[in-house]
Structure 1
């Protein structure tokens, strides 16, 4: 191989790497972290976690089985910053995707994640009332834009959303999706082993999804871009349920997802979106591989959400996953200042 050809190949390789490198913070600062309460006039107040760029000294902070290095209640750094809201899956919490939140905050985003009332690892009494969740998201955005003490640092025109599993469904409704909930019962009569159907069967008292005030899943026009991973109830959007979605979407599916198996969840969403999303099927990944990599303590307490297939490196995947999520939000919402 000639010297010229070697130089050309090196240049081509460098150019291929350049887009990814552009979205890595050159000199990442520390991350501030707060726990707050967002009011919900139609329900219980929402516990939220907030990550944001900060120059304050960071230190390890343990919360249950999770530890992160953050500046607890440190002052915010920057102005006119984009905001990302995260919606966790069934039985999760505001810490379910803390590594993605940290990556975004290090790169200059403000990130807020609620624990969805009645659908957390501590309390799942309202897990079936999935149409309450979009209201939670809107109330959290109300709080961040007008009630949070640092709200002046947010650019209200640059808001994105990330959702996983039930949070993916929440995200789709929050950007204009209109699911046909009447499809659930006939679907479950044919697919009784699926997670959502088992959840429904265990709680027949809630099977009718009785509406509460403000629970009909209205879209929030403040959300301008969305990342959706392994969306629950994807089949409920199949018949034109996503026709009103106009924002860009990045869609992810785990190849070996046994909780929400193909082809009934991510695939109908991909087909129903009026504008083709960015789409990736993660080879050899399982459903829970979209959750943050587990500590040894969490793996001991909840092995079912921490176990990956032999040979699948969740830590390495999340480095790439977080980079792609960051790139997408940079491109769709604009860079940080």
Structure 2
């Protein structure tokens, strides 16, 4: 199906930043995509416009009841000079899963992908080409009906904005220090943990603030019921290599089904590396460290791809992992995924979508 969108070109193009000034999520491209939803009419009036503030009524429901979802993905310039997206169809499928949980109308995933392609094509010159840089893409939906009753909104906007970025963590691919959180919880099964919605991240800020004050890059979340089983690290899925087997928490209703997580699992299995998706307790992790069988740990996500974990702090004790160095499995996974994303390796998984 062919989708046509109105395009309004910016009259005042922004100055593009130098590569060493990118940071993460602070600078935005010249254009954005907007699609409106009205009950009884459905999604309508898709358009690409200059990047600009959003005009909303103070009573817009997103401000009061948090009815909002979002996604995160990237565009890359490959070694052949092509523009590549990594598994974008999975992001829009997950967005619709989040929509279902938040009572937001689903979007046409093919329309969303076509809108993204046209937006990326228009702002192609914003995609940085230096090593470890990319164009971060943030699709999101907000409830816009002006109403203070507690019910699903009757109006929404689906918006895509984009930002040229460098590494998510200042450490880059170097191992980070993680604080195991015992006081606060991020989500519970039956809640919204498996949806990508703003409230999940707002509730994580306090623990992250505490971790940062102690010199740690992120928080390792335990389950919200028994406060014992490992779930996520910061906004990433987590993996451990224990005695030769890679283990990651099984999806349980409170863990976000990461697209990078799924990609890593496929790469591990293709390389015949033993891997398990199961419940794993912090007690098991500490015991494996004491026995010398905790060989690696790393977080995975769109923003950082892989973030090796060089140290855990749990109940006042620090546990150094793999001498604070990146492990062989983490390096393999990072090289494989980034190799495919930047076109350095053959995409044997058919994950990439080329924007033409």
TM-score, length-scaled by structure 1: 0.26
Q: Which has the higher contact order (CA 8 A, sep 6+)?
A: 2
Kindly indicate which of the two structures has a greater share of residues assigned to strand: 2
